């Protein structure tokens, strides 16, 4: 295989037009296992010595007015056989998550009270106005009817400030609500990979005009998630746990020869971070 690649890759900020870009700060976690805060010119303003999945800067409205608090992964599960999948990176098998203040001090930590004694948080989390924290995590357990003896099931926990789980939602309890045909559901159950759905986003809807117009599916407390592997985006009713809105996993066939805008969503692929705008 012949490939032509550049020998020099640009680093830092490659373009910044202040007249067209909002002047703010960017937070991100990096392969150096730290969480960085930079300005629009690429200058590092602050760093926390822990990785977040993602690094989440908390609104002072949910921290009692305290600024500069972040959510990060704090400790990793150690030892042989701790990953459900051989070679699985530590970000998928974290022991605990933590809220750090600006100086990096731990002001809240959770993991020991999680099922199995480990948080296993991945891809997303959210601090709620009531002070509780929504955590997207993996639960490793057998699922009846599946080919593999144990799977990485996607689960959502609502955790109060004391670390108690006050609400739980588990994907495997809702397989028939995701929109699979019977044949497709059987393919899901015969999956050869343990991470059979790979949910990579979770967020509450928040205030929105659809709910204001009377559509109860869009209750601000309801939760939006998406599955990369199973090709769907859904809304979970927070009170019942039921799926009340679907996009996918099946999409209408359209002609690529017709230039019709807008047109129905005909496919998604590898999507991350679905959210309501």
- Is the pLDDT at 82 greater than 60? The verdict is no
Residues 6+ apart with CB under 8 A from 252: 264, 266
Mean pLDDT lowest among 18-27, 39-48, 87-96, 117-126: 87-96
* Length of the chain, in residues: 277
SS3 45: strand
Instruction: Please say if the pLDDT value at position 91 is more than 90.
Output: no
By CB atoms closer than 10 A (0-12, 13-18, 19+), residue 52 is buried
Q: Confidence class of residue 257 from pLDDT cuts 50, 70 and 90?
A: low
Compute the CA torsion angle 97, 121, 206, 198 (nearest 10 deg).
160
* 10 has a pLDDT exceeding 60: yes
Q: Is 117 helix (H, G, I), strand (E, B) or coil?
A: helix
Under DSSP, is residue 36 helix (H, G, I), strand (E, B) or coil?
Answer: strand
Confidence category of residue 237, pLDDT binned at 50, 70, 90? very high
Q: Output the pLDDT for position 226.
A: 96
Q: Sign of dihedral through CA atoms 203, 207, 208, 214? A: positive
Read off the pLDDT band of 65 (50, 70, 90).
Answer: very high
DSSP 218: G
Q: Tell me the whole-structure pTM to 2 decimals.
A: 0.91
Share of the chain above pLDDT 70, in %: 93
pLDDT in tens, 166-205: 999 999 999 999 999 999 999 999 999 999 999 999 999 9
Strand, coil or helix: what is 41? coil
DSSP letters for 141-200: E--TT-SSSSEEEEEEEEE-TTS-EEEEEEGGGGGGGS---HHHHHHHHT-SSS-SS-EE
- Specify the DSSP class assigned to residue 129: T
């Amino acid at each position: 295989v012949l490939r032509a690649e550049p020998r020099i890759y640009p680093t830092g900020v490659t373009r910044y037009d202040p007249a067209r870009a909002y002047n703010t700060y960017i937070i991100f976690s990096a392969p150096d296992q730290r969480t960085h805060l930079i300005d629009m010119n690429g200058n590092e303003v602050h760093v926390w010595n822990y990785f977040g999945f993602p690094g989440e800067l908390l609104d002072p409205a949910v921290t009692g007015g305290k600024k500069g608090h972040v959510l990060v992964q704090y400790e990793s599960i150690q030892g042989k056989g701790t990953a459900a999948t051989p070679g699985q990176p530590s970000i998928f098998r974290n022991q605990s998550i933590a809220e750090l203040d600006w100086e990096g001090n731990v002001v809240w930590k959770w993991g020991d009270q999680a099922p199995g004694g480990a948080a296993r948080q991945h891809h997303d989390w959210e601090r709620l106005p009531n002070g509780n924290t929504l955590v997207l995590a993996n639960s490793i357990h057998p699922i009846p009817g599946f080919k593999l003896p144990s799977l990485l099931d996607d689960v959502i926990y609502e955790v109060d400030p004391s670390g108690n789980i006050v609400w739980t939602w588990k994907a495997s309890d809702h397989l028939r609500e995701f929109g699979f045909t019977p044949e497709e559901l059987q393919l899901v159950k015969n999956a050869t990979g343990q991470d059979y759905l790979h949910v990579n986003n979770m967020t509450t809807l928040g205030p929105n005009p659809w709910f204001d117009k009377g559509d109860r599916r869009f209750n601000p407390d309801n939760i939006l998630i998406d599955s990369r592997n199973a090709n769907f985006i859904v809304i979970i009713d927070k009170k019942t746990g039921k799926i009340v809105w679907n996009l996918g996993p099946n999409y209408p066939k359209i002609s690529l020869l017709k230039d019709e805008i807008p047109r129905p969503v005909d496919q998604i692929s590898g999507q991350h971070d679905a959210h309501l705008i």
